[in-house]
Structure 1
Amino acid sequence: MANRTCFSAFLLLLLPLEFIAVMGVTPPLPLPECRPIVAVDRDLVQFAFNLEFLEAEFFLFGALGIGLDDLAPSLALGGPPPVGGRKANLDPIIRRIIEEFAYQEIGHLRAITESVGGVPRPQLNISAGAFAAFFNRAMNTTLSPPFNPYANSLNYLLASYVIPYVGLVGYVGTIPNLVGRTNRELAASLRGVESGQDAVIRTLLYLRANETVMPYGVTVAGFTDRISEIRNRLGRCGMKDEGLIVPKQFGAENRTTSNILSADADSLSYSRTQAEILRIVYGTGNESRPGGFLPNGGSGRTAMRFLATRN
């Protein structure tokens, strides 16, 4: 009987959701920790500030050595300056690309502020130490010397691999829950640029996928695998992240091992909830326990709502 029950459950997994509904069987709901929160549009859109601030400051400092307080201080709304940002040792082409990304992030902050109002910039930690801690956890070892995102172009691209993709899947998860058409259009536009940034970063890394990152003895592709794995573990809601090279069964139409655009079996973007995003950028796997790149927690009502549940 146990075997028959398990076999029946397995068959249900293979059936299209529409057919299951016709049979009168309700598909299983996501686990509570993987369900979207209920909130008004303003709060859902403003949650994106946490990633947009993080990207803006990291890209600005990496390319120019200065941050939002120098270029658009009014958008910070009095929030504390970031910790540890500095100009990266980038080659001219990468520096130009990152500078463009930085200006795009300023535009995103302005567009969200004009649409739904701003929130103060949260305390950000974009120091080499914060990235070193993240990479140590991803690689399940203590890298020696500590990983430094500002040391060279390759390190900076690997560090950049950590951030825009998280913002992209966050927008994908948010858009279906927005009621207002204007807010949906804004989030979709922001998602478009985030996906473009992520694609550029992944393409630049793919061109060097088999190159060994010195002095660690691990290839670029190996690093992206481990970064994607740690984001899946921290997010706690299944596989929504993949490295640059995958087995064919996970490639586009099961025909490619390249994975420049990370996507599901139908080549659709993965989505994450606000809780999943915080678990990743906090680096704690817990949306109520700040740390990592947001040591004091995120800004806005949604992030504060999770902080209020701390034990």
Structure 2
Amino acid sequence: MAMAMATTFYVLCFFLSVAPVPLPKSDQNLLEFPLNLEYMEAEFFLYGSMGFGLDHIQPNLTGGGPPPIGARKANLTPLITDIITQFGYQEVGHIRAIKSRIGGGFRRPLLNLSAESFGAVINQAFGKPLYPLFDPYANDINYLLSSYIIPYVGLTGYVGANPYLQTPTAKKLVAGLLGVESGQDAILRNLLYERATLCVVPYGITVFDFTNKISELRNKLGRAGLKDEGLVVSPYLGAEGKVKGNVLSADTNSLSYGRTPKEILRIVYGSGKEQVPGGFYPHGANGTIARKYLKAKINLKE
């Protein structure tokens, strides 16, 4: 009898230790929201390096969402192709990890990853149209600059979400995601930093000027002060106020900046307003948080 009870006790302990603990709704919403960025990163990196995306690699993760607009294989050298391929597969894992933790998640939103979409961001950053239109898929430099636009936004989102997570399970997942997103951003910034003084053909504008303009645009659209820095900054913005080089973007204590979902939506929509979709998300982002803002706009019209 005692042995049977002991066996039952250990079996119960085993199942309790491996069974996933339900997350509070607030944690689920905060973990769900980044899927919008992870979908975008996955499709851009997979298409850019291999010419196909999630529908080919892992169609069950799309939730039946529409394929991205305008994504295609980039004209990359073998080294950059290798790095971006790794990034693409990493994003597949991120989507799977989030979806499995929250019990499904939402379908892939419509993404506009066309050259025109990226070109519009660059024109907005410089405050004037560049001619010819900037093409993210043309070469290594263009693709790296376009990639500069993406992972950092997700990185700041994870930093911003972490203080509001209630459970260790959610915090652990975000820490794991943040680690790799930070690594991707660091690699991209390093590759661009090595090329910082090169001029982007045919514009005659240096790589570091491109990064500074992109970062300035994200600060402007986010409407929350300084949370973004290019590769070369005024010394007072560098580490300990001592250096111009800025291979990693960070605050006065060299800590990563954090952004709220509102700020992120303002940036990726390109509108500066979380209620006004556009840019990379023509129909808006998906999930409870993002749709709440779109619904708020609809209600205001009624």
Shift of 1:257: 1.1
Equivalent pairs counted in the alignment come to 274
Q: Which of residues 286, 292, 296 is equivalent to 1:299?
A: 286
SS in 2 for 1:309: helix
Letter in 1 for 2:271: T
* 2:113 equivalent to 1:126: yes
Unmatched 5+ residue regions in structure 2? 1-24
C-alpha distance in 1 between matches for 2:102 and 2:162: 15
Q: Counterpart in 2 of 1:6?
A: none
Give the match for residue 42 of structure 1.
28
Aligned to 2:97: 111
What residue number does 1:173 align with?
Answer: 160
1:69-148 equivalences under 5 Å are 69-117=55-103, 118-148=105-135
* TM-fit CA distance, 1:188: 1.0
Residue in structure 2 matched with residue 35 of structure 1 by the alignment: none
Who is 1:269 aligned against? 256
| Separation (CA, whole Å) in 1 of partners of 2:194 and 2:279 | 29
* Partners of 1:248 and 1:284 in 2: CA distance: 31
Which residue in the other structure is 2:185 paired with? 198
Cα distance, 1:248 vs structure 2: 1.1
* 1:88-120 C-alpha deviation (Å, 9 max, x unpaired): 000000000000000000000000011012210
Q: Provide Cα deviations, 1:220-243, integer angstroms capped at 9, x if missing partner.
A: 000000000000000000010000
Partner Cα distance (1:152, 1:188) in 2: 33
CA distance in 2, matches of 1:172, 1:188: 9
| TM-score, L = length of structure 2 | 0.90
SS of residue paired to 1:40: helix
**2:49 is equivalent to residue 63 of structure 1:** yes
- Is 1:281 the counterpart of 2:268? The answer is yes
Distance 1:247 1:277 in 2: 25
Aligned positions of 1:152-301 closer than 5 A = 152-301=139-288
CA distance in 2, matches of 1:292, 1:249: 33
Give unmatched runs, 5+ long, in structure 1.
1-38
RMSD: 1.0
**CA deviation vs aligned residue, 1:218-269 (integer Å, no higher than 9, x gap):** 1000000000000000000001000000111111011211111100000000
- Aligned-partner Cα distance in 2 for 1:132–1:260: 24
Match of 1:151 among 138, 148, 165: 138
- Cα distance in 1, alignment partners of residues 216 and 242 from structure 2: 22
Secondary structure class of the residue paired with 1:272? coil
Query: Larger deviation: 251-260 or 48-57?
Result: 251-260
Match in the other structure for 2:19? none
Deviation at 1:125, TM superposition (A): 0.4
2: CA distance, partners of 1:146 / 1:123:
23
How far apart in 1 are the matches of 2:236 and 2:26?
39
Cα separation, 2, equivalents of 1:104 and 1:284? 29
| TM-score for the superposition, normalised by structure 1 | 0.87
Paired residue secondary structure (2:278): coil
Instruction: Note the C-alpha offset of 1:68.
Output: 0.3
Distance 2:186 2:174 in 1: 18
Q: Match for 1:199: what amino acid?
A: A
1:51 matched residue in structure 2: 37
Amino acid at match of 1:45: L
Q: In the alignment, what sits opposite 2:17?
A: none
In structure 2, C-alpha distance between the alignment counterparts of 1:82 and 1:214, rounded to whole Å = 27
1:240 aligns to what SS in structure 2?
coil
* Alpha-carbon distance in 1 for matches of 2:204, 2:126: 12
Secondary structure of 1:290's aligned partner: coil
> How far apart are 1:44 and its partner, in Å?
0.8
* SS of residue in 2 equivalent to 1:308: helix
Cα distance in 2 between the residues matched to 1:239 and 1:255:
18
Q: What is the CA-CA distance between 1:217 and the residue it aligns to?
A: 1.2
Cα displacement string for residues 12-47 of structure 1 (whole angstroms, at most 9, x for unaligned residues): xxxxxxxxxxxxxxxxxxxxxxxxxxx711011100
Percent identity (aligned): 56
